[in-house]
Structure 1
Amino acid sequence: MRIRDHRADDEPEINLIPLIDVVLCLIIFFVITTTFESRSVLKLELPRAEGEPTQAQEKALSVLVNADGRYFVGDREALRTDVDSLKRTIAEVAGDDRGRGVLLRADARTPHQAVVTALDALGQLGFRNIAIATAPEPRAAEPAR
């Protein structure tokens, strides 16, 4: 009596479910990591000033005002442009640390009122160490000797 081996009759097949899972995880990973550089999308033209650059504080709170007058605190955008909304956003990002330095970066084309509003909100919250970021003046070509 001959016993037949049924394993030889099985057709090999490729299971696509694990492959689909891996591809989906890679897509989600790449979508999330590309949003980390969202701050680089904001193009600022800083106002010009003369003077020596100061050492940047490593843990300074960054408040950004773009040319349209919209506010960005750290990596969060304030929902509205009024003082209360900006104060809420600053308080959420900064927490209770009011001794922390603040770097205010405003576009050169920003309306003056937007910068004053940001300074007002920071002052009302108790921040005293506020620096305004500027770009150095372009050096004029020196005359040939």
Structure 2
Amino acid sequence: MRIASGRREEDFEINVISLIDVMLTLLMFFVMTTTFVQHSSMKVTLPEASTTEQSRDEQNLTVLIDADGRFYIDNNEVLNPAVDTLKEAITRIAGDDRTRAVVLRADAKTQHQAVITAMD
């Protein structure tokens, strides 16, 4: 004969709290990583390029500035780095053509003042 102790046999129970925590974590992960696409309401007509290529590289006036701050205009060095001398050299090389594009190229280690002087 079995004498019953003070403990009752507990009913079988499934603990779902940890499952709910995992599901909420996954739901938050997917919501945060989902990309939401917003379509703009403004309709824009983009310009199209012509099929003919124009060779304008020969017409550009190139001003180069090296790391030491020396100026070169179309591979000719300007000896004096003053603004007036640089203007005179550009005028001499460009001539009367005021519509000629000027391309300014500077070395990565060039001081900002040299680039500003060339832009002036």
In structure 1, give the amino acid aligned to 2:74: G
**Structure 1 unpaired stretches of 5+:** 1-54, 121-145
Which residue number corresponds to residue 99 of structure 2? 99
Q: Structure 1 stretches (4+) deviating beyond 4 angstroms? A: none
CA distance in 2, matches of 1:83, 1:57: 27
Kept in 2: contact 1:76–1:89 (CA 8 A): no
Tell me by how many angstroms 1:64 deviates. 0.3
CA distance in 2, matches of 1:98, 1:60: 11
| Structure ID, larger Rg | 2
In structure 1, give the amino acid aligned to 2:56: Q
Which residue number corresponds to residue 71 of structure 2? 71
1:52-91 alignment runs, 5 A limit: 57-58=56-57, 59-91=59-91
Aligned residue pairs: how many?
66
Tell me by how many angstroms 1:96 deviates. 1.0
Identity %: 53
Which residue number corresponds to residue 119 of structure 1? 119
Tell me by how many angstroms 1:57 deviates. 3.1
1:57-104 Cα shifts (integer Å, max 9, x gaps): 321001000000000001311111110111111111111111111110
1:44-55 alignment runs, 5 A limit: none
TM-score by length of 1: 0.43
TM-score by length of 2: 0.52
**Structure 2 unpaired stretches of 5+:** 1-53
Secondary structure of 1:117's aligned partner: helix
In structure 2, give the amino acid aligned to 1:111: Q
Alpha-carbon distance change, 56 to 106 in structure 1, aligned in 2, over 3 angstroms: farther
Structure holding more helix per residue: 1
